């Protein structure tokens, strides 16, 4: 059974602070995706990383894929209230002949103005 653990589970910070969310597994993934989800809505894809050690930037968000492709991190610089939401990582790979995604437990972020 593949598991993806995210930490922290909950995070409440002031506007302007920096934060890092971690996504860890003992399994190797072909790709890893990060999503943000608002209450009552579907997850929205932020980024996909596929190469070990890869770093991608999306404005104030920096995503990194671990060298061994087992873990990833999401760093937000100068957080804003609009960053509030549930952040999910999902590891992709072929399991029992099917390409599918295993989702992490999620990190609920609240940014206070």
Partner 1 sequence: ETGVTQSPTHLIKTRGQQVTLRCSSQSGHNTVSWYQQALGQGPQFIFQYYREEENGRGNFPPRFSGLQFPNYSSELNVNALELDDSALYLCASSLVPGLAGVSEQYFGPGTRLTVT
Whether residue 20 contacts residue 73, with contact meaning beta carbons closer than 8 Å, is answered with yes
Binding to partner 1, residues 51-90 (CB under 8 A): 88
Calculate the CA dihedral of residues 85, 10, 71, 62 and round it to 10 degrees.
50
CB of 82 to partner 1, least distance (A): 19
Question: Which residue from 14, 59, 82, 96 is in contact with partner 1, where contact means CB under 8 A?
Answer: 96
3 binds partner 1, rule: CB under 8 A: no
Question: Which residue from 14, 59, 82, 98 is in contact with partner 1, where contact means CB under 8 A?
Answer: 98
Binding to partner 1, residues 19-58 (CB under 8 A): 30-31, 33, 35, 40-45, 48, 50
Whether residue 59 contacts residue 10, with contact meaning beta carbons closer than 8 Å, is answered with no
């Amino acid at each position: 059974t593949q598991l993806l653990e995210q930490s922290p589970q909950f995070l409440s910070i002031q506007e302007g602070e920096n934060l890092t969310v971690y996504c860890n597994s003992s399994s190797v993934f072909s790709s890893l995706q990060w999503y943000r989800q608002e209450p009552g809505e579907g997850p929205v894809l932020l980024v996909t990383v596929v190469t070990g050690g890869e770093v991608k930037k999306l404005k104030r968000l920096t995503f990194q894929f671990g060298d061994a492709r087992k873990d990833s991190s999401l760093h937000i610089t100068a957080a804003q209230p609009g960053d509030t939401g549930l952040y999910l990582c999902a590891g992709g790979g072929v399991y029992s002949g099917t390409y599918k995604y295993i989702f992490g437990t999620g990190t609920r972020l609240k940014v206070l103005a």
